[in-house]
């Protein structure tokens, strides 16, 4: 084999990658709340699942808590992009907290579907990862009607009251292919299982998976920038491997990359999860450039232009102060 030269090394960067509209809105909501009301602003759970974003907001005066009980009475609390159950809204009311709900509108859509099907007395099979905040929030909308199906292994455990009155919904950040497989298996058991009215896996999750597939087909290594509690980022690693990459790793930032991953690699794919700021991708590209991977090509699979308005509680106060 020819010895590797600098010119044979290249980087394919997936587009779209990084921030989605829901993350952009949630992070901006905390920033604007800090500007409008001053520090501290409390945030229940990580506003988005990214360590760098959380640390940056902490430095500006945000205080992250696990539960509303930790927020002093009367203070402002922001609910994260992953959404909360009605029980959490009630707790906040009891403590007289001022709330800013940064739940992504696409998560709210799934909550509304859950409420609607529960009102019609359907059993709801919620495909998602046990313990994930979004799943807890959605399940909390109708705990008596919802059961969690955590991947293919969960299919055999499902018990329903009436197989004719059954619908599936899902977490927004799952693997499209794996969820399709889970639904196929569920339908083998329950042929009259109803589909959600529209896709629950959000546009951003789907687009980032389409984009990573395109680069993975040509890359020996795919580096996914994202935190390990970020569901959509973890899914990108799995999708990259399934799409043909020899190896794929999740890294919080460039300092987590291991030199040996690059051994014999001529094409590196790079992408990032929906909660990852672009500066972290830039640092990865700089790391690669220092090692001879200076030929960087953007590979655009889907054009994105989705934007969401800030939470209305905040917009009202921002307007009033102009
Ligand atoms: Fe909303 Fe999807 Fe982004 Fe989650 S990943 S915040 S559901 S757009």
Whether 138 lines ligand 1, by a CB cut-off of 6 Å, is no
**Which DSSP symbol is given to 122?**
-
Query: Pairing state of beta strands 123-127 and 146-149?
Result: parallel
For residue 6, name the pLDDT band (cuts at 50, 70, 90): very low
Task: Please tell me the residue having the least CA distance from ligand 1 atom 1.
Answer: 22
- The answer to whether the CB of 222 falls within 8 A of the CB of 269 is yes
- Beta partners for 169? 126
What pLDDT shows up at residue 321?
82
Rounded to 5°, the CA angle 38-27-13 comes to 150
Q: How far is the CA of 204 from the centre of ligand 1 (A)?
A: 6
Across 1-5, 203-207, 248-252, least confident range = 1-5
- Beta partners for 42? 63, 77
Whether 20 lines ligand 1, by a CB cut-off of 6 Å, is yes
Q: Which helix (H) or strand (E) holds 110?
A: helix 105-119
Q: Which atom of ligand 1 is nearest to the CA of 105?
A: 1
Mean pLDDT value across residues 189-217: 97
Whether 175 lines ligand 1, by a CB cut-off of 6 Å, is no
Q: What is the pLDDT of residues 259-308, one digit of tens each?
A: 999 999 999 999 999 999 999 999 999 999 999 999 999 999 999 999 99
What pLDDT shows up at residue 4?
47
What pLDDT shows up at residue 300?
97
Q: What is the pLDDT of residues 145-192, one digit of tens each?
A: 999 999 999 999 999 999 999 999 999 999 999 999 999 999 999 999
Mean pLDDT value across residues 93-111: 98
Q: How far is the CA of 23 from the centre of ligand 1 (A)?
A: 6
Q: How far apart are CA 10 and CA 297, in angstroms?
A: 8
2 pLDDT higher than 80: no
Q: How far is the CA of 57 from the centre of ligand 1 (A)?
A: 19
For residue 7, name the pLDDT band (cuts at 50, 70, 90): low
Task: Please tell me the residue having the least CA distance from ligand 1 atom 8.
Answer: 22
Which of 137, 173, 272 is the best mutation target for the ligand 1 pocket, counting ligand atoms within 8 Å of the beta carbon and taking the most? Answer: 173
Share of the chain above pLDDT 70, in %: 98
Q: How far is the CA of 178 from the centre of ligand 1 (A)?
A: 18
For residue 322, name the pLDDT band (cuts at 50, 70, 90): confident
Which of 16, 17, 21, 84 is the best mutation target for the ligand 1 pocket, counting ligand atoms within 8 Å of the beta carbon and taking the most? Answer: 21
Which of 48, 80, 107, 231 is the best mutation target for the ligand 1 pocket, counting ligand atoms within 8 Å of the beta carbon and taking the most? Answer: 107
Q: Which atom of ligand 1 is nearest to the CA of 25?
A: 6
What pLDDT shows up at residue 203?
98
DSSP string over 146-182: EEEE-SGGGGGG---S-TTSEEEEE-TTS-HHHHHHH
What pLDDT shows up at residue 130?
96
Q: How far is the CA of 47 from the centre of ligand 1 (A)?
A: 12
Q: Which atom of ligand 1 is nearest to the CA of 173?
A: 5
Mean pLDDT value across residues 13-41: 98
Q: How far is the CA of 20 from the centre of ligand 1 (A)?
A: 6
Mean pLDDT value across residues 124-145: 97
The residues, any chain, with a CB within 8 Å of residue 243's CB and separated by 6 or more, are 212, 213, 216, 217
14 pLDDT higher than 80: yes
């Amino acid at each position: 084999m020819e010895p590797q030269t600098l010119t044979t090394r290249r980087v394919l960067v997936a587009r779209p990658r990084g921030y989605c509209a829901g993350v952009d809105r949630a992070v901006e909501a905390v920033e604007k709340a800090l500007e409008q009301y001053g520090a501290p602003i409390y945030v229940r759970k990580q506003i988005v699942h990214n360590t760098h974003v959380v640390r940056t907001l902490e430095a500006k005066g945000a205080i992250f808590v696990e539960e509303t009980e930790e927020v002093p009475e009367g203070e402002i609390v922001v609910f994260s992009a992953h959404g909360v159950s009605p029980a959490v809204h009630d707790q906040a009311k009891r403590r007289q907290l001022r709330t800013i709900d940064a739940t992504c509108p696409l998560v709210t859509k799934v909550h509304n579907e859950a409420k609607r099907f529960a009102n019609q007395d359907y059993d709801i099979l919620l495909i998602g990862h046990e313990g994930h905040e979004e799943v807890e929030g959605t399940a909390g909308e109708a705990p008596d009607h919802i059961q969690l199906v955590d991947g293919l292994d969960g299919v055999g455990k499902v018990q329903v009251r009436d197989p004719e009155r059954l619908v599936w919904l899902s977490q927004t950040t799952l693997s499209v292919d794996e969820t399709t497989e889970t639904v196929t298996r569920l339908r083998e058991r329950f042929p009259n299982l109803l589909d959600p009215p529209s896709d629950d896996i959000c546009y951003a999750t789907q687009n980032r998976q389409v984009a990573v597939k395109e680069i993975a087909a040509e890359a020996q290594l795919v580096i996914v920038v994202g935190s390990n509690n970020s569901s959509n980022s973890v899914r990108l690693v799995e999708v990259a491997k399934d799409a043909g990459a020899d190896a794929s790793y999740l890294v919080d930032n460039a300092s987590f990359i291991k030199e040996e991953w690059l051994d014999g690699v001529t094409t590196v794919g790079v992408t990032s999860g929906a909660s990852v700021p672009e500066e972290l991708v830039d640092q990865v590209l700089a790391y690669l450039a220092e090692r001879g991977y200076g030929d960087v090509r953007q590979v655009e699979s889907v054009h994105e232009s989705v934007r969401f308005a800030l939470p209305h509680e905040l917009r009202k106060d921002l307007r009033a102060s102009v």
